[in-house]
Amino acid sequence: MIKKFFNNIKFGSQKGVSMVELVLYMAILSVLLTILTSVFVSALDVQSESQATSSVEQDGNYILARLSYDIHRAQSINIPSDNGLPAIDNFQIVIDGVSYAYSVDGNNNLILARFLGINNFGLAPGDNGSLALRIGLKNFLLIENNA
């Protein structure tokens, strides 16, 4: 019975995977994985760039809103002149008796400085506290000087 079973089986007719086919399948799989990985990395780069752009837009909207708000509340606006022309890198405004100075530093950051006077924020006389708003593409800093 066992001999009969083995005689009926034809080993040459059975299909299998040859070494060439296996290497070919692995090569195709490797190419597909490489393509999918590069697409995934590209998607991550686009997401990162999109987040950076969104952050810059939010920062710009904040700058415009703050300038508009301060200018509408201002009792006076002082724009110093440079050779008879208005200076484009600084101006001062007074709101409720507090002087605010907007200026641009050497790194093209917008700086808002608020001068509060002596002994605000619980500072002892002679202490110099500072809090400033520096707005640029990379950094924000709010400065309030007691002087």
pLDDT per position as a tens digit, 65-106: 888 888 888 888 887 776 666 666 778 888 888 888 888 777
Does the pLDDT of residue 35 top 90, yes or no?
Answer: yes
Examine the domain organization and report whether 50 and 80 are in the same domain: no
Residue 69 lies in a domain: no
If you average pLDDT over residues 37-61, what whole number do you get? 91
Q: Quick check: is 138 in a domain?
A: yes
Looking at the fold, whether 129 and 80 belong to one and the same domain comes out as yes
What is the reported pTM? 0.48
133 plus 79 within the same structural domain: yes
Q: Are 16 and 49 members of one domain?
A: yes
- Of the chain, the percentage scoring pLDDT greater than 70 comes to 62
In a domain, residue 131? The reply is: yes
* pLDDT interval class at 140 (50, 70, 90): very low
Is residue 3's pLDDT more than 50? yes
Q: Are residues 141 and 81 in the same domain?
A: yes
Rounded to an integer, the average pLDDT of 51-63 is 85
Q: Give the residue numbers spanning the domain of 85.
A: 74-145
Question: How many domains, in total, are found in the chain?
Answer: 2
Q: Are 96 and 51 found together in one domain? A: no
Q: Is the confidence at residue 22, as pLDDT, over 80?
A: yes
| From 7-11, 55-59, 65-69, 122-126, the region with the lowest mean pLDDT | 122-126
In a domain, residue 44? The reply is yes
Does residue 17 sit within a domain?
A: yes
Distance of CA 144 to the CA centre of its chain: 25
Asked if residue 25 and residue 80 are part of one domain, the reply reads no
